[in-house]
Each structure stands twice: as structure tokens, then as C-alpha cells.
Amino acid sequence: MTAAPGPGDVRDEPERWEVTASARAFEGPIFAIRRDKVVMPASGGGTEAVGRDVVEHQGSVAVLALDAADRVLLLRQYRHAVGAKLWEIPAGLRDVAGEPLRDLAARELLEESGYRAERWDTLVDVYPSPGMSDERSRVFLARDLAEVPADEIDFERVHEEADMPVVWVPLADAVRKVLAGEIHNALAVQGILAAHAYRGGAVEGLRPADAPEE
């Protein structure tokens, strides 16, 4: 009998079950949908092939920007799928082949908020919705911030980004807003709580910005 895992075994690891069939159901500019038949354990013993839809996603990055006063940079963006204006942290798609994730994060921070950061660390790596999508996201912690004059930013905000106000919220207040159900965006929630844990001494140091995704 295999021993039950203990606390030291709590670590995600790669695994790939057998796929007996796979077909493309949808292809769009940002994501595609793949339909797989996956061999899984059956309720009465043995195995069976079960249908699973997978959203194939480019992946993303996000930036938890923290200033010298321990304030978090948040911006508000309309999200049509959920019918709401959500307070979020700067984020973007991995849509440039071969672009280092830290460079992508710096570009998104500049374009969406108008700030640059001198200090970058990896805060958390997450699968935002692993039950249905292969999307990966890295949330960076950006510090030593400086505002960039608007005329030095070569980016035009249109559509959802046309009206995107930026505010600075004390980290402790942002945590309270998360726990009060006032902030819902997953990457913002994860970044805020992770930054709070780090600032509270949960770990001595963070991984470097170029740490590999495991």
C-alpha cells in the first residue's frame, strides 16, 4: 500500500494521463478549445475514457506594484464576461514569442499604469483556472517605482483600456477589501495576499524575476 502523503509532499508535480482522442472545437485569436478523451479511473474499478474540454491559452503575467509606503497600485477595467468593472493589477497576455516574462510585465506596467520599476521579483506562479484551462500566469512584485511622463509612453489605450483609472491603496486596506469581497480579480487577489504574506515575514526572500516556471 502506498503511504499517504505528508506535509512535506505538498508540492505540485507534472502528470499526464493517456489521451485516446483529441479534436479542436474552436480556434480564436487569444484561446482555443480542445476536446480530449482522457483515460481515468472508473467507479467500479478499471478505467474509462472521459471527455474533457480544455481551453488552450497563451498565458499571462501580472504585476503587484508596491511603493515605498507599502501601497498597492490598482486599476479599474471593464470585464464584459462578468459584467463588471473590476479593480485589478496590471496584467497582459504572453503574445510576443520569446519575450522574457519580466520584460512583458514591465511593458504592461508602463502601458497600463504609466510607471517603471527598478526592482523585480517573482511573487507567485499560478494556474488561474486549471479545471478547464492550461493558462499559466506569473505575478511579479515590482518595487522602486517611478512615474513616466505621458509623452514618453508609446501606447494608445482603446476599448476596455480607454477608461482605466489608477489608484494607490495601502496594502493592509487592499487585503481587507479582498476578504470583504470587494476585489474579485483572481490575479489581484493572489498578488495582494502573497505580497501581504511576504511583507509579514512568511518567507525570507522571493525568487528572482527570471526564476524558471516549474
Other CB atoms within 10 A of residue 29 CB = 8
Other C-beta atoms closer than 10 Å to the C-beta of 165 total 10
Q: Does the annotation mark 161 as catalytic?
A: yes
> Among 212, 185, 163, 158, which Cα is nearest to 64's?
185
Neighbours of 61 (CB within 10 A): 25
Query: 27, 161, 213, 214: which is the annotated catalytic residue?
Result: 161
Distance CA 73, CA 113 (A): 8
Alpha helix segments (H runs only) across 30-155:
101-113
Kindly provide the residue ranges of all beta strands, DSSP E only, lying in 127-159, ordered along the sequence.
Answer: 137-147
DSSP of 77-107, one letter per residue?
EEEGGGTEEEEE--EEE--STT--HHHHHHH
Q: List residues with catalytic annotation.
A: 161
